Structure 1
Amino acid sequence: MLNLLSIIFLILTLGSIVYYLYSLYSCHSFFSLENKINPDFSPPISILKPLWGLETNLEENLTSFINQNYPLYQIVFCVRDKDDPVIFLVEELIVKYSQQDLKLVVIDRVIGYNYKVSNLANGFPYCDYDLILIADSDIEVKKDYLSTIVQPLQDEKVGVVTCLYQSFADNYIGIIESLGVAYNFIPNVLTARQLEGINFAFGSSILIRKKVLEKIGNFQRIANSLADDFLLGNLPTKLGYQTVLVNYIVKHHIEKESFDNYFKRQIRWFRCIKVARFKGYLGMIFTFGIVNSFIFSIVLYFNVLSLSLLLITFFLKLILSYNIGFKYLKNITIKNYLGLVVVVDFMQFYIWLIALFGNKIKWKNSQFILNQKGELIFLK
């Protein structure tokens, strides 16, 4: 006979099975979309690149944005510290690609606790065009990037275009993170897209109309928000614009770091999600199917029913992870570490559980509290 605890985890396990099945459908639906390129639609684009320090693969990342098969675009490199070594790299790129419209802006003005947003705000006045592309410095793209992501903006109702990313790393912490992106993050996003559409964006790529950016209050509106990318996709939808997730995957290069820094960064990210979409955050419990079914098996002492559901859940999770990592992303690293799907599930569940309670975060050697609006309140 089932007790209350076993009933709870039975519901969670069955919910996870439904989620995995629906996620398989959602991923297939999204990756089946074809990117139709209209050669007559290529409005000029201003690319804002916030920079801080010399990151892994930085020169290749920046060069990939410089070398685009697109008729008219500019890149504004934004730096805060006049002694930042990244300035020398940018200056070299400006000389090397003198035929391109490249600008370096070094301004130390700070408008809030989010220094990246301050960087963007400082570079914004130097943008000449009506379309603004914001992309993090750890992103690498192909030459058809601009011509692909701009296409949804043919519809005037579309205010923002964003895209997914896959992560690459050559260290064990980075590999764990890249697996989390492929196994959990991408299916979560695509399931949410299928259920309710997209009302958020990702720092990997945010293409926004200048007039839309100005209508939401420009960068000053998000200067104290940690989830700046989320808000750049969310706030325009509240004004009636659409945010579109285009079927284009960019490369995200992960820096080598300690497990402690990785853990703190994941806590920050999860708590941002919790503040921004609390109901969705609670619903993430169904995405940890292996954890739910394993606990259910323990509660029922690994009887036939619990073991059967555990095997079904594990099998579905394996299929979902394999499809995303190998079939859709064609990422050999993800395929090689497919066996770590269980480890990733338990790690992400633990982070989710820790982030559920409390609103303190540590960011850049300072401590903050995230309020109900997702804004940073300085502690020390």
Structure 2
Amino acid sequence: MSEQYYVVQVGLSTAVLTWYGIIWSIGLLGCWTARTRYRSPRSPSFPSTLPSSTPGVSILRPLKGLDINLSENLESSFKQDYPSFEILFSIADEEDEALPVVRELISEYPNVNARVIIGDEEVGANPKVNNLMRSYNEATYDILWVLDSNVSVAPGTLTRAVAMLIGPSASQAIPPQRRIALVHHVPFAISNEASFGTQVEEAFLNTNHAKMYIAINAVAVDSCVMGKSNLFRRSDLERLDGTLVRQQHHESKNSRRGRGLAAFGRFIAEDQMIGLALWHELDLRHGLSCDVAYNALGAMNLSDYIRRRIRWIRVRKHMILLATLLEPFTESVMLGAITATSLRFLTGISFWMFLPAHFLLWTLVDLDVYASLAGHPLPRVKWQSFLVAWVVRELLAFPIWLLAMVGNEVEWRGRRYRVLRNGEGERVLPKASVDRLLALL
């Protein structure tokens, strides 16, 4: 081995070990933050930070079809122990199967201000945004809480989220801080499904995803938002246009894309773009609540899981390319393999001494994150199936990433889209539809 090659090898191996330490630091930060944030007792239902006259909140719930546990998910909105709120159910089609479920709940809770808004407004490729537009425009209150239909929340969730959103104000904070413009909740997957894809998704969301999501938000160097449960002000959204350019530099110009929620209809991941826009255009920050968003998972086979992961990696690579390129090197298998190789070169420690300790500690940290979010350790009856699903998830992470990086088309709720620059999307018509369209021209 030449001296120059040896020096390069030493440099690369040292860099790998440094990276290994960084990733472990992030993982441990996520684990520790999960313990302190979610294992501590929740604040009272009406904390002292709320003013005497609490601001009203409009809860927006976009619906399409019969999601798993739909009635229980939607009912959790009616059970919020908050003094002033309304619920707006957004349904694009009056023949939608979710409509009877909603009407039954409204009749069961006559004292709750809830109504159905039927019909969408097409402002872009994103069907969720299109579905929400009428509810967004007709909402009574400035504070909006957008909750996906497969999410349920605890009764005190809204009160604690509003308390985080409105106080203490940035001017009262010591040292002064940017105002919180968005409060979100980490998803925690719940499922009684025996289908293997669902088990793999549950293992992913409740361990590695939650760990990294919590850690990134604890560091708070940039926006990291998932749209299962988001609370923000409509007045803030009305100042955004999705360009991610700081407002003082371009607010005098008329945006060709418009402002408000409609400006985000062109993006596939509108939730992430709204978070980025609040962060970069208005220089505001986010708050991760001490409550979780219970995400009910339906039946998925392994192919469904793989397609789902490919979809969001393909969207993310057009939004945050560098982080997406680095993603394989944050996963346990790839990171363990390159670290074991580097450690062997530098110290002579064998693979079989390092890798078992690496995977054991990684698993224990992930299970600790699960216990923090669930409020209890992994049940014994789930140990075998959960750990098998966890192992499969880890082994599939790199192959899925490779598949995602070589394409730009995704499937979402039965429709195909092409992901464009900055995460924008355009509908891709099936070949038969294209042929029919050309025949009409």
Q: Structure 2 unaligned runs (5+)?
A: 171-178, 241-258, 430-441
TM-score, normalised by the number of residues in structure 2: 0.78
Q: Deviations over 1:290-333 (max 9, x none)?
A: 333246768989x8432233123212211211211124433635
Does the CA contact (< 8 Å) of 2:200 and 2:390 recur in 1?
no
CA offset digits 1:226-247 (Å, max 9, x no partner): 1111112111111111111122
Trace 1:36-115 onto structure 2 (pairs within 5 A).
Answer: 36=43, 37-38=47-48, 40-41=50-51, 42-115=54-127
Alignment match of 1:281 (pick from 301, 307, 324): 324
- Answer yes or no: is 1:165 the counterpart of 2:187: yes
Amino acid at match of 2:335: N
Structure 1 residue 9, shift from structure 2 partner: 7.9
1:265 equivalenced with 2:308 (yes/no)? yes
Identity of aligned residues (%): 23
Q: Note the alpha carbon deviations across 1:174-222, whole angstroms, 9 max, x for none.
A: 1110101122211111232233445132222110111111111212111
Deviation digits for residues 261-295 of structure 1 (CA, Å, limit 9, x no counterpart): 32222111112222222222223223212333246
Does the alignment pair 1:377 with 2:405?
A: no
| C-alpha distance 304-39 of structure 1, shift in aligned 2 (>3 A) | closer
Rounded to whole Å, the distance in 2 between the matches of 1:255 and 1:359 is 26
Which whole-Å CA distance do the structure 1 matches of 2:389 and 2:404 have between them? 22
State the Cα distance separating 1:115 from its structure 2 match.
1.1
- Asked if the contact 2:90–2:131 (Cα under 8 Å) also holds between the matched residues in 1, the reply is yes
Q: 1:249: Cα distance to partner?
A: 1.1
Preserved CA contact (<8 Å) 1:200 1:231: no
Q: CA deviation at 1:61?
A: 0.4
Work out whether residues 24 and 320 of structure 1, in 8 Å CA contact, stay in contact via their aligned partners in 2: yes
Provide the alpha-carbon RMSD of the alignment: 2.7
Match of 1:193?
217
CA distance in structure 2 between the aligned counterparts of 1:185 and 1:7, rounded to whole angstroms: 31
Q: 1:106–1:212: structure 2 CA closer, same or farther, 3 Å change rule?
A: same
Other structure's SS at 1:150 match: helix
Code of the residue aligned with 1:182 in structure 2: it is N
Match in the other structure for 1:316? 361
- For 2:249, the equivalent position in structure 1 comes to none
Deviates more, 1:151-160 or 1:213-222: 151-160
5 Å matches for 1:1-380? 12=16, 15-33=19-37, 36=43, 37-38=47-48, 40-41=50-51, 42-153=54-165, 154=167, 155=169, 157-169=179-191, 170-171=193-194, 172-216=196-240, 217-238=259-280, 239-294=282-337, 304-329=349-374, 330=376, 332=378, 336=383, 337-338=386-387, 340-380=389-429
Residues 296 and 71 from structure 1, CA distance in 2 versus in 1: closer, same or farther, beyond 3 angstroms? closer
Three-state SS of the structure 2 residue aligned to 1:32 is: helix
- Measured after TM superposition, the shift of residue 38 of structure 1 is 2.5
Q: Aligned partners of 1:340 and 1:165: how far apart in 2?
A: 18
Give the greater-gyration-radius structure (CA). 2
d(CA) in 2 for partners of 1:93, 1:74 = 14
Distance in 2 (CA, whole Å) between partners of 1:31 and 1:276 is 30
Deviation at 1:6, TM superposition (A): 11
1:99 offset after TM fit, Å?
0.8
Query: How big is the shift at 1:50?
Result: 0.2
Q: 1:328 to 1:364 in 2, by over 3 A?
A: closer
TM-score (norm 1): 0.90
CA deviation after TM superposition for structure 1 residue 93, in Å: 1.2
Q: Structure 2 vs 1, CA of residues 267 and 8 (structure 1 numbering), >3 Å: closer, same or farther?
A: farther
